[in-house]
Structure 1
Amino acid sequence: MFKGLSKIDLPGRNGAAPSLLTRVVVTIALLVVVTVARRAIATAVPGVVPFSLQFPAVLLATLLAGWVSGATVVTIGGLYAWYLTMQRPNGGPTEAELATLALYVVSAGSIVAFAEVFRVRARMLVGGQAALQASEARLELATKAAAVGVWEWRLATNEMIYSPEARAICGFPADGPVTYEMVAAVTHPEDFPHTSAQAERALDPQVRDETPYDYRLKLADGEVRWVTANGRAVFETVGGETVATRYVGTLQDITARKRAEVERDEGAQRLALAIDAGRMAVWQVDPRGITPSPELNRIMGFAEDAQPTLEEINALYLPGEQDRLRQAAQDALACGERRFEVEYRARRVDGALRWLLARAEILLDDKGAPRSAIGVVMDVTERRDSEERLRLLAREVDHRANNLLTVVLSTVQLSQAPTVQALKEVVSGRIAALGRAHQLLSEARWEGADLRRLVEEELLAFSLGEAARVTIEGPDVALSPAAAQALAMALHELATNAAKYGSLSKPEGRVAVSWTRGRGGPLNLRWAESGGPEVATPSRRGLGTVMLTRALAGPLGGTTHLDWRPQGLVCDLELPGEALEQVVASA
C-alpha cells in the first residue's frame, strides 16, 4: 500500500533531518514565488493583501523542508503583509486587516503543525516499508540458503499457499494451486493422525501449541521423506469470539538427518550387541569417580543395579596389580600413545579369583594432561586356565614321550627270537600293545585310561573274533599313564603266551580276566586260563616272564605272581593305590 509513496524523495525519509542548506533554499524559493505572485496581484488589484497565497507556500515548505522552514515562511509572509499595509497613504492597516493577519498566523501555524505530523508519519511509513522489504528479502535469501519452505493455511477459504521451496519438498508442481487435499494426500498415512492432532492443538485458542513436529511425506513416486514443521496460528476476534484465521509456518527436509540418526542408532545397537556378545564391560574413570555398567557389576560380583565407588573397585585388586595398571598407562603416555591394555588379577566380591583384561584410552585436557579414561574389561579367566592346561599338557606330553621312548628302547633290547622274522613279530606286538595304551590315554587327554577298554583292546586280536573265549569282569578303574603302559605290556605278554602255548592255542581254550579294588586300595588283577594244553612249571625263566615281571615293578612298585596250574596258568598282578592315584596328580 506504500509502494507509490516510497518513490517520493522526501527529505529525511531515511530518518535523517533536512539539512540547513535544504531549509534555506526551499524557504527562499517559495518566498520568491509568493512575493512575485503577491506583487502581481497587488498591481492588478490595488488595496488587496492576498494572505491566501501564503498557505500553499507554508504547506510545501513544511512538507519539503520541515516545520522550521514552514514557520519561517509564515513569519516572513506575515511581516511582508504588515509592511505592505504600512505603505498606504492613510497610515496603516484597518481593524479588518489586523484581524485577517491574526487569522492568517493561526491558520498558517495549524497548517505547519499538521503538515509536520504528516511529513513525520509519512517518513516513518516509508522507512518501515523499506525495512519490511529488506527484511522480506533477507528472509527469502535465508529460506533458500537453508532449503526451508514457507507455508500458510488460510482457514476461512481453506486455501494453501506454499513457497517454491515448500513445493519442492512436498513434490508439488512449481505453479498452480495447492489444496488441502494435496497436502493430506502427501502426508504419510501413519503420520497423518499425528499432524492433524498437532494442528488442532495449534488452532485451539486455549492451547495455541507451537511445538515443532517431525513427520513423513510419501511422494507420488513412492519416495519417503522426513520433514520438520514449525507452525503458529494467527487469531482474530470474529463476532466476539477469538478464532484462528491463518496457520503459517515453515517446512524443512530432514531426511538426511533422520537417516544419520537411524545409522547412529543401528551402530549403537550393533556396538551394544558386540559388547554383550563379547561379555565386555564398559567403564569410565574421571575425577568424580567411576561410571560402572551392569556387565562390570556382574564380572566383579556386585548387584546388577549397584553403583560401586572407585574405592570399592580398587579394593578388589590383588596386591601389586593396580600398580601394574598405572605403569601400563604411564608407559603408553611416555611413548606418545593414549591406548593401552593389560591383564591383571582381581577378586570378586564373593572371593573368587579372576583374570581380567582391560583395554583403555586415556583422554587428555587442553594442556595435554590426563583428565579421564574410558575402556572395557573382559573376564579372561577361562582363557588363562585353558592356556595353563595347555602348558601343563605340553610338559606332560614331553614327559610321556620320553618315558615311552625309554620303554620302547628297553622292549627292543630285551626282545629275543630264533629268527629275524620272529624277532620282528615279537617287537611289533609289544610296541603295538604300548600303542594301544597310548591311544586310550590320548582319547582321555592323558587324564586316565579305562582298564576295561585296555583289557578288551589287548585280548581282541587273540580271541579270533569269538567273544565267548574271553571273560572280562571288574569295576570301572582309571589308570594313570604309567600304570596303563605297564598293564598293557603285561597283558600283551600273557596274551601272547596263551596264544602260543596256553589256553588260546586251542579252540576250546578260555581266558578269564577279573580285578578288584577297594576304596583307595591296591588294584588286584587275575589272569586265569583254562581248557588249553596241560601246563607244567617251566624249568627256567624265559624272556616273556622277565618282561612280565619288570612291567609292574620299578617306580610303580607292583608285583607279579605266576601259578602254573595243570589246567592253565593263573597270574595275579597287583598295583599299589599310589600308582593309580597318579591320575589325579597328572590331571
Structure 2
Amino acid sequence: MGQSRTNEPQAAVDTTPADLRPRLPDASVPDIAAIVMSSTDAMFIATVDGTVLTWNPGAETLLGYAADTVIGKNLTDLFAPDQRDAVLTLCAAVAGGAAHYKDTVGRRNDGALVTVSASLAPIRNHVLQVSGLSVVLRDMTDRQREDAASDELQTQYRTVVDGSIQGIVTQQDGRIVYANPAAARLLGRDNPDDLIGWNSFDDVVAEPDLAPFRTRTAAALRGETVAPSAPWRVRRADGRTIWVTSTAHRTVWQGRGAVTSFYTDVTAAHTAEAALIASEARYRALTQASDTIVWRTTPAGDVVFADRMWNDLTGQTEERTLNWGWLDAVHPDDRDPTIAAWQESLQSRTIHKNQFRIRLENGDYRWFSIRAVPILNDDGSVREWMGANTDIHERKHAEETVRESESRLQMALQAAKAGTWEAVPNRAEFVASDLAQTLFGILPGRQVTITDALAALIPEDRQQFETEMHRAVQTGSAFQVEFRVTQPDGSVRWLHAQAELRPASNPGRLIGLVNDITDRKLREQQINFLMHEVNHRSKNLLSLILSIARQTAGSVNRDFVRLFTDRVTALSKNQDVLVEGNWRGVDMDALVRAQLSHLKGLLDRQIILQGATLRLSPAAAQTIAMALHELATNASKYGALSNDSGHVDIAWDITQPQDRDAVFSLSWRESGGPPVEKPVQRGFGSTVTVGMVQMGLDGTVTEHFAPTGFTWQVECPANNVIEPAEPT
C-alpha cells in the first residue's frame, strides 16, 4: 500500500520559472521563502494566464489542496464557478500592471465554498515586464461572521434604543447630536431629527434646574459616576413643563467624547406625590382642627398605630395603647359592648360604627363616635383597618337636651290637646301626629296627601286654608287660620292651625300646630249673643232717653233736641262698632267711617281718609268718636262741607320720636269752604272736641281758625289709644 496523505501543511514547492528568479535579489530569497512558509494566508504565484506555479502551507490549509495536486492548474479552479469570470477579468487587469483587491468566494478541494479576500499583484522580470501574478487569499469567514454579528447587534441595539420608553439623548459640545423617538415625544416633537442641533441646556432644561444639570453633565463628561437624579423640570416644545429623572454616562460620538442621558417622564408620579403630600398635610391639619383621633390596626384588630392626640387626651403611653391596651381608657360600662361590636365588624369585614365614653387624663369621661373601615387586598382579604374617633360630647348633651325638650313638648301638646303637622304644598305632602290626624278627621296612622287632609273641611273654609297656605309659602309670612272640620260622626268642630316656613331645611315646608277651639268658639258665640242683647237693650234705653228729652223740651228749643239727638246717635253708632269688635278694640278707619256715615256720599270724594291700620281701645274709641261727630256736624253747618267745593282731610299716624315714647296723632284739616272766623263764644261742642279729648286721651289739642280753613289736631301717647295686642 502507498503511504497515506496527511492534512499537515507541506513544504512549499518552488516551481518558479527560471526567467522569474533572476529578478529576486539572492539575499532576499530565503527571507521571502520564510515569510511565505510561515504565513497563515494562502500565498501562491501564477503565470499571467493563471497557471499556478507555487503553493504555500497556508494555501493548503485554506483550500485543502496539496501542492502537487494544484501546481499546474489554472487558478480559476480555486474559485466558485460563478466567480471565475470575474477572477479572469481581475487577472487580466493585474497583467496590465495594476494590483487589485476583491472579496470573492473560494472553492475548497472538498467542494465547500469559503469567503476570501483576494489580493493580486503583478510580478515583473528583469526588464520590468509583467511575467506573473502574486496571489494572496485571506479567509474572511470569521470576519464576515463578525460583520454579520456586528450588523445584527447594531440592528438589535437600534431596535432597543428606538423602542425604548426612556428618552435617550446624546449631547456633544452642548448640542444634541442624537435622540431616540421616546426623547422626541418627551420633548414634544414627532421626529427625533427635529431635536438635532438643539441646545441641550437652554432649549431643554427649565431655569430652576439649569445649574444642577450643567454640573451633572460636566461630571459625566469627565467620566465620573453620576447617580440618578431627583425629579427636575424639562421644557417641551409646546411650552409645557414636565418632570423627569435622568442618568448620564460618558460615551463616544464620532471619535470624540460625548454624554448620553436617559430620561424618564415622572410627571404623573411627581404630581401624584405632590398631591399626596398636600393631601397628607391637609389631612393632618383637618384631624388637628376637628379633634379627630386616627388609628390603624392589623386584620385581627390589634392597634399598631394611634394618633398622638390619643395619648395626650387619655394620658396613656404609646406602648400602653397598642394591641388592646386602649380598652383601659374606655368607660367600664362601655367595654363589653365595645368589644362585641368591634369583633362583629372584624368577622363581617364591614364598616364599624360605635359610640363610647373615653376617660380623660383628669378622670373625666367624654363621648366619642368611632368609625373604622377595612382596607382590602386585591384578593378581598383585609390588609388593615383604618379608624377615627371624633369627640361628640357636646352633641350627646345636646341630643339629650333635645330629647328632654321633646318630651316636655309632647306633654304640653297632650295637655293642650294640640297636634303637630307638616306640609309641602308644592308636592302635596302632608305628615301629622296621631292627634292632628284625628282633629283633621283622618284615621290615625294613615298616609295622606294635603288633598286628603283637607277633604273634611267645610268647603268655604278649605278654600281659605289653601289660599293662606300658598300665601305663606310664597311670601314667607306666618300661617294662621281658623276653620271647621266635619268629623266622621257628622259633628262639626272648630280648629285653629298655625305654622311657619322652614326654607333652610326643606324649601316650601310648613311646620305647625293644630288644636280644637270648638269650646272657645261656643263661648265667643255666647258672648257675642249677650253683647248684641246688651247693645240692643242699650239702644232701647237711649231711645227712651231721647223720647223723654223731646217731650221735656217740647217746642221750646228745637236746636237742643236736634243736637242732643245727634250726639246720642253718635254714641249709638260707636256702640255698634265696639260690639262688632267684641269690645276688644275698634279699627280706626272703621270708626271714622261709622261717625261720618250720614255723610257717606262725600267720603273718598270731599272727605279723604289717610292713616295706618290701627286698633283703638274702647275708651279711646268713644272719645275720638264724639269729637269726630262734633267736627263733622260743624263742618256741615259752617265749614268745608257746607258747599260742594270744600274738602276735609282726616289723617292719623303713630310716630316714634328719639327722645320719648311713641306718639299718636289725629288731624282734621278743612279747605275750600266759606271764610273762617274764630268764634266769640265756646259752647258744648268745644267741650267735646277739646276738653273731653284732652282729658280722655291725656293729650294736647290744637285748633287753628285760618280764613282758608279750620284745622284741628290731637297728639297723645300711643299707649293711651292703641288696644294692647292679645297674648299668643
Q: Name the TM-score, length of structure 1 as normaliser.
A: 0.45
- Determine which structure has the larger strand proportion and give its number: 2
TM-score (norm 2): 0.38
Specify which structure has the bigger relative contact order, considering alpha-carbon pairs within 8 angstroms and separated by 6 or more residues: 1
Q: Give 1 or 2 for the bigger CA radius of gyration.
A: 2
Name the one with the larger helix percent.
Answer: 1
